[in-house]
Chain A
């Protein structure tokens, strides 16, 4: 039996493509990658969403012999990718509204079915706002009907395109322009949150996964796997946003990793409503390490800081770690 591959064999946390055999190379490192979201778009430097979308679409294209139709919700990804006369999309792509990416994709899927084009596949994508808030009802309908669509949510934890306002996916205590870091309870409130991967699982759909741009190999694998399946599939990708989070452009990957290594963003897969795999934390970090380098949490630290809130956030991470056994033995 060969030793299971670990991507940190190179000593750093970088994915060690050069250590891999040809068949294990990432789609992105291959010369025949499709560049479906090609360069020249207008995303900010270090945009996690642009990075995530690029990997997702190229992997989806590779898995389907280049036969993907993409549907996009309104949001940063839609706006920065199509400043006409330029478009970054080198695949058939459609944007309709903010809240309807899922049902538009359903329409595409049923049209293809009517036409007998089972070879062409559909991917819908939206931000966290388009997914967990305004497009939630239609998305749930798409899940419940088990329409043949992969829906990808790029979660940057706020409405970024409109200038950083709170969404249902904004984490507790985070400062946004509608959850100012002033008053008695600075930042977003400590609510139950809207955990869409779990809600998707509750629909019993064939495939649900979370992923992070800190592990792009894992992201590609999940897309590839999702495209090998039929029915409603949901992929939730954590994509740090330097502008909205108040972070340095070059720290996007680091932030995505700290989110997973602290336990705040569990990375897992589920099939038919049951968790089948979790990414274990390699080296646990306290949430402070993740929070401290983000301006949206700066009110929690320093002399006027709020250690109680940091503690409360740590408890959220601890709950995730226990629920998903994130510190357990790697499978």
Chain B
């Protein structure tokens, strides 16, 4: 049913329609509205016999999820930023054990400096954790991807993260069609676990594995990820049949990527998440002026759809990857994956790090980016809207005296007292 609803609330109601058995949560902005709503829905008896567990840390949130999932419960949790880092050990454990937990990551920057605003450094830090990672472009896809996520997780026995930009999506009111429970039940069969703790048929789970089989266990994790590249398109197609819309948004292509005016595009902007909205506006603007610009979104970042990316991008002349996180000391994260997809194809790839810690990514900045890419003045790796003078003044202070003080506070003082 179409309704004017906050992104977090839409996600919570969608999760409720998936009828989880156990939901565990520890609060962190900007994830809070999701779990608050789920607590209420559980108490109102709207999720059957679902158990809502308030834990004392994210480490325990993921650990409770592990125990519940291994006991055959459909299990959900949500976190962000510091919370995701606090649970890293059980995050890896859940994927290693092959437990089909679904978790929302309400993307937020990682400190220090502490910052509650949006970027994607949190989920990017877990890109090699063995979890599947799906990125939502808007709130409709944020809600819908969770339904697909449960189906995918349980099909493969692998955990799935659904990443949605904090505040920009989680706190935005929009018109959303929250999936009807009957349709969800039609799409999502009852959870039939591959492994379960059961006194009738006792198994040991979590034994030590030495060099004799460790590589093979890890290989199978990789294999399942590659399998997901085949299954996601099937599940996406079925999703569209049942719900009448693609799970990953209007420009969806097989649930793996999104394509916006790619066919004849000479310059292609690549991104993940909500920034694609602004990017598409920039594409429209340039198209009006006859410039062949297109945009590609990556819905499935893990597994990374190498083939689809190659097919979509190989005819482009210039590629600009707009990244909401980066790898200090090297550069882009998404772009290095794009480069892998395009290996042996000679296309220039520019990486632009944008919107860190909630800095707005404006239409103006994106449009300028396209212009710079066209005129060849875009460096291979750069930071959008970097306050170069502010940085230089701090570097000068560093030269003046050994004990120059805390960097972040120096910058704030500089900005606040100039």
A residues in contact (CB < 8 Å) with B:
66-69, 71-72, 78-79, 82-84, 87, 89-97, 99-100, 102-116, 120, 137-138, 140-141, 144-145
Instruction: Tell me the total A-B contact number using a CB cutoff of 8 A.
Output: 159
Q: Are A104 and B63 in contact (CB under 8 A)?
A: yes
Please, which residue of chain A has its CB at the minimum distance from the CB of B60? A103
A89 to B206, CA, bound (A): 12
Determine the chain B residues whose CB is within 8 A of the CB of A84 once the complex forms.
204, 207-209
Q: Are B204 and A110 in contact (CB under 8 A)?
A: no
Q: Are B56 and A138 in contact (CB under 8 A)?
A: yes
Determine the chain A residues whose CB is within 8 A of the CB of B331 once the complex forms.
none
Q: Does B64 contact A (CB under 8 A)?
A: yes
Q: Are A99 and B64 in contact (CB under 8 A)?
A: no
Determine the chain B residues whose CB is within 8 A of the CB of A90 once the complex forms.
202
Some 15 contacts from A to B, beta carbons below 8 A apart, are A67-B199, A71-B67, A78-B208, A93-B197, A94-B197, A96-B63, A97-B89, A97-B93, A100-B60, A104-B70, A106-B53, A107-B68, A107-B73, A113-B51, A115-B73
Of B51, B63, B66, which is in contact with the most chain A CB atoms at under 10 Å from its CB? B63
Q: A92-B198, A111-B68, A140-B56 are in contact. Are A116 and B49 (CB under 8 A)?
A: yes
CB distance from B130 to the nearest CB of A (A): 15
Interface residues on B, range: 35 or more
- Identify which of B24, B53, B57, B93 contacts A137 (C-beta below 8 A): B57
A72 to B69, CA, bound (A): 16
Residues facing A in B78-101 (CB within 8 A) are: 89-90, 93, 97
Q: Are A79 and B197 in contact (CB under 8 A)?
A: no
Q: A106-B53, A106-B67 are in contact. Are A97 and B197 (CB under 8 A)?
A: no
Q: A114-B49, A137-B56, A138-B59 are in contact. Are A106 and B64 (CB under 8 A)?
A: yes
Q: Does B361 contact A (CB under 8 A)?
A: no
Q: Are A87 and B207 in contact (CB under 8 A)?
A: yes
Q: Are B71 and A108 in contact (CB under 8 A)?
A: yes
Q: Are B73 and A69 in contact (CB under 8 A)?
A: no
B residues in contact (CB < 8 Å) with A:
21-22, 24, 49-51, 53-57, 59-60, 63-73, 75, 89-90, 93, 97, 197-199, 201-209
- Identify which of B24, B50, B202, B208 contacts A93 (C-beta below 8 A): B202
- Identify which of B21, B63, B209 contacts A111 (C-beta below 8 A): B21
- Identify which of A82, A92, A99, A120 contacts B208 (C-beta below 8 A): A82
Q: Are B208 and A114 in contact (CB under 8 A)?
A: no
A95 to B22, CA, bound (A): 20
Q: Are A108 and B207 in contact (CB under 8 A)?
A: no
Determine the chain A residues whose CB is within 8 A of the CB of B208 once the complex forms.
78-79, 82-84
Determine the chain A residues whose CB is within 8 A of the CB of B55 once the complex forms.
103, 106, 138, 141, 145
Determine the chain A residues whose CB is within 8 A of the CB of B66 once the complex forms.
96, 100, 104, 107
CB distance from A158 to the nearest CB of B (A): 20
A92 to B203, CA, bound (A): 5
Of A67, A72, A79, A115, which is in contact with the most chain B CB atoms at under 10 Å from its CB? A115
Q: Are A104 and B67 in contact (CB under 8 A)?
A: yes
Please, which residue of chain B has its CB at the minimum distance from the CB of A149? B67
Q: Are A96 and B209 in contact (CB under 8 A)?
A: no
A120 to B69, CA, bound (A): 16
Determine the chain B residues whose CB is within 8 A of the CB of A68 once the complex forms.
199
Given A111-B73, A114-B21, A141-B56, output 17 extra A-B contacts at Cβ < 8 Å.
A84-B208, A89-B202, A92-B197, A93-B203, A93-B204, A97-B89, A106-B63, A107-B22, A107-B64, A107-B69, A107-B70, A108-B67, A109-B67, A115-B21, A116-B49, A138-B57, A145-B54
Q: Are B199 and A103 in contact (CB under 8 A)?
A: no
Q: A111-B67, A145-B53 are in contact. Are A94 and B205 (CB under 8 A)?
A: yes
Determine the chain A residues whose CB is within 8 A of the CB of B65 once the complex forms.
107
Please, which residue of chain A has its CB at the minimum distance from the CB of B64? A107
Q: Are A110 and B64 in contact (CB under 8 A)?
A: yes
Q: Are A82 and B207 in contact (CB under 8 A)?
A: yes
CB distance from B310 to the nearest CB of A (A): 38
Determine the chain A residues whose CB is within 8 A of the CB of B205 once the complex forms.
93-95
Determine the chain B residues whose CB is within 8 A of the CB of A72 once the complex forms.
206
Please, which residue of chain B has its CB at the minimum distance from the CB of A71? B67
Q: Are A114 and B50 in contact (CB under 8 A)?
A: yes
